[in-house]
Amino acid sequence: MYIFRNKNVLIYLMIVISGCLVRQGTLYAQKSVISRLEVTAAVTTDSIRYVDLMNQLAGQYQHLQLDTCFLYLSKARDVAQRQQYIRGEAAAYRGLGGYYAYRDNSYLSFRFYIDALNLYRELGDSAGICQTCMHLGVYYQFEKQFEEAGRYMKRALDISKHLKNDSILMALRANYYFIYISNFRAGRSSDIVDRKSATRSLAIARQMAARAGDERLLLYTGMLQAQELIYSKTAEAEGVAKLMALVAEAERKGYVYHAMYGSSHLASYKARSHQADSLIFQRHMVRLALEGGYRELALPVVAKLFAWYDNHNKSDSARFYANAMLDIMEKEEQGKTQGELDYIDYYMQEKKLRALQLQHDYQQQLLDRKGMESRGRYAVIIFLTILLILTVLLLVDVNRSHRRSRRNAVQLGEKNREISEKNALLRTNDDFKNKLISLIAHDFRVPLNHIIDITDLLKDQSLAYDDATGLFRKLETKSQQTLHIFDNILRWIRSQLSGFVYAPAVCKPAAMFREALEVLKDDYIEKVLTIQFDIPEDLQLLADREMLQFVHRNLLHNAVKFSPVQGTVHVRAAVDGDKVTISVSDEGKGVDPGVLHHLFEYRNREKDRGRTTGGAGLALIICKDFMDKMGGTIHVSNNPESGSTFSYTLPFAKESITREQ
């Protein structure tokens, strides 16, 4: 850019502009606001109200005449310190931070912003902290300390969520957009800003400015949108025309800095496009900068104009810009030296004030000590009063103890009632344990009797060698099946007693049903049953394999047990979204309707009537418990014609799951 020594300075100072757009009340046209404030200040005494007026006037002049802005900020700071008006002093410091940013003095700008932030934190002023954090974020962005810049800007955005000040929100949204622009044009990514949200924030800021009638922010956001058209090369001619119109409007309404800023962008665009009128906009920008007191910002352009006129042998113009350049450099050096001296002077004055405050506190402590000595004669009276109060409190405590004893008696009765209820629950649990023992006896009696019968036959030696060999194989199979069932029951008991941890794995129900059916092979062959499987071989679901196999054995056992001779047992699978439902249907008599809805519930009662009683009923309760632990469900229903259908539902296992059975 032509205005600044470093292209990042342009971004920094324009963000400062957006930060200074926060209003101090209802916005009117600039000139009427300044006139009203100056008239009010002329009749206002050295007071808090006067400090606020000076700060407001400084804010109005910041984009009109920078030297006048500094005059009002200095008055505000002096009076605020005399009046010990901390909020007014913090506002003056924040304004001075912006002033020295325009003066291209980053050190003093940073120091005043830090002083303002400390005072706002002391006051607990969220709005002030938000604004100052925003300015510090911009400062660190300019200094290329991007981590610190992001931290301060994020703090400002977090605080703004709890504020209802539209002016602050408008400024933050504009800054949010400008951080994106600065990073984008520098080819750098940002952790807190992306293009979509930045563009949306700029549009929202402009809408808010239109609703509030904020002329400065309307000019500012309009120029940003015009630049977007130019730099994105989507509609350069439209962007240039819009920017020229906004420059003319800003100059007409007295916003010198905005007009100067727009002229600098036009000059940059014209020079980049090799258009002859680039010098016109450069000279226009310099004239505005000198008129508004923004000398330091115009220095690079003045130097370029001097070099151009000198190379083209235009001595009068070259001499004019050479004198202007010399004057700017002299005033810049004087301003930096004087500013640093002023800061040191005010810093020392603040130290003196704090020392006087400490001295005042010390004297106050001495007076308090003497007052305590003069009150010593009241010590005895106070002691007797305290003794009387303690006696009364003791009597009150005795009375409370008596009432507490009665309450304890009532509570003891309640505890006894709770103990009785828990004893009843223990009896119920004990009954459940007895039923579990019955289940174990029921499940092992049949296979163990088979084993005993086989061993009796072998012991009598009444079988041929081939028959004995077949019985040995059958004995081995029955023993393994019995041991497998026993392990599953023990697993479930441990899950109830020592705390169950569910670790699901990928299971293939087709293979598991075939394995479970081997246990019942003799039974369904004896009844000449047909077993129809409609389960895809590659179907997978998530479950605990042993617990799921326990469910399969019981559902198949019930279906085989209650199926008529030459009946059919259907085993089907259905996938619904991320769930798999497996159903086992038989052609028996079905479940007694009185038992159907309570089939999976444990109830302390006599054996229910119906098809499922004793150990089998308790086995279904265990199936329900296993399904609950695996995050599934189990259901039962009677078929329309005959028989019943038992089904369970478990999560579907996607192909990405690598653990296989």
Instruction: Give the end of a domain, one of 71, 90, 107.
Output: 107
Helix (H, G, I), strand (E, B) or coil at 118: helix
What pLDDT does 61 receive?
A: 84
Does a structural domain hold residue 350?
no
| Phi, psi dihedrals of residue 621, rounded to the nearest 5° | -65, -40
Among candidate residues 182, 177, 204, 205, the one with its CA nearest the CA of residue 193: 177
Which of 201-210, 433-442, 633-642, 648-657 holds the top average pLDDT? 633-642
**315 assigned to some structural domain:** no
pLDDT above 90 as % of the chain = 16
Residues 323-376 have pLDDT tens digits of 888 887 877 776 666 555 556 555 555 555 555 556 666 677 777 777 777 777
The distance in angstroms from the start CA to the end CA of the chain is 68
pLDDT at 496: 57
CATH code of residue 644: 3.30.565.10
Residue 38 to residue 35: CA distance in whole angstroms: 5
Q: Mean of the per-residue pLDDT values for the chain?
A: 79
CA angle 399, 403, 407 (to 5 degrees): 165
Find the helix or strand (DSSP H, E) in which 307 lies.
Answer: helix 295-311
Q: How confident is the model at residue 536 (pLDDT cuts 50, 70, 90)?
A: very high
Exposed e or buried b per residue across 339-358, where buried means at least 16 C-beta atoms within 10 angstroms of its C-beta: beeebeebeeeeeeeeeeee
- Band of pLDDT at residue 456, cut at 50, 70 and 90: confident
Unique residue bearing structure tokens 């259905």 = 574
The DSSP letter of residue 24 is S
Residues constituting the chain: 661
Residue 534: pLDDT band (50, 70, 90) is: very high
Choose the final residue of a domain: 85, 107, 129: 107
- Predicted TM-score (pTM) of the model is 0.47
pLDDT score at 436: 62
Q: Is residue 456 part of a domain?
A: no
Within a domain: 89: yes
Does 560 map to a domain? yes
Residue 237 or 452, more confident: 237
Q: Above 60 in pLDDT, residue 26?
A: no
Q: pLDDT tens for residues 552-585?
A: 988 999 999 999 999 999 999 999 989 999 999 9
Q: Is residue 515 part of a domain?
A: yes
If one compares 22 and 337, the residue with the highest pLDDT of the two is 337
Contacts of 47 (CB under 8 A, 6+ apart): 79, 83
Say how far apart CA 286 and CA 301 lie, in whole Å.
7
pLDDT of residue 201: 80
pLDDT over 60 at 417, yes or no: yes
Please report which helix (H) or strand (E) contains residue 210, including its range: helix 195-212
**Cα separation of 152 and 137, whole Å?**
5
Domain extent, residue 77, equals 28-107
DSSP 8-state assignment for residue 308: H
Domain count, the chain: 2
Average pLDDT over residues 278-300: 83
Residue 424 neighbours by CB distance under 10 Å: 11
DSSP class of residue 65? -
Q: Has residue 309 got a pLDDT over 90?
A: no
Task: Name the nearest CA neighbour of 55 among 70, 33, 66, 45.
Answer: 70
555 belongs to a structural domain: yes
Give the DSSP per-residue string, 618-655.
Answer: HHHHHHHHHHHHTT-EEEEEE-SSSSEEEEEEEEBPPT
**pLDDT at residue 543, as a whole number:** 93
pLDDT tens per residue, range 96-120: 988 888 887 888 888 898 999 999 9
Q: What is the mean pLDDT of residues 616-639?
A: 86
Which residue among 55, 86, 107 closes a domain? 107
pLDDT at 606 over 50: no
CB 123 within 8 A of CB 87: yes
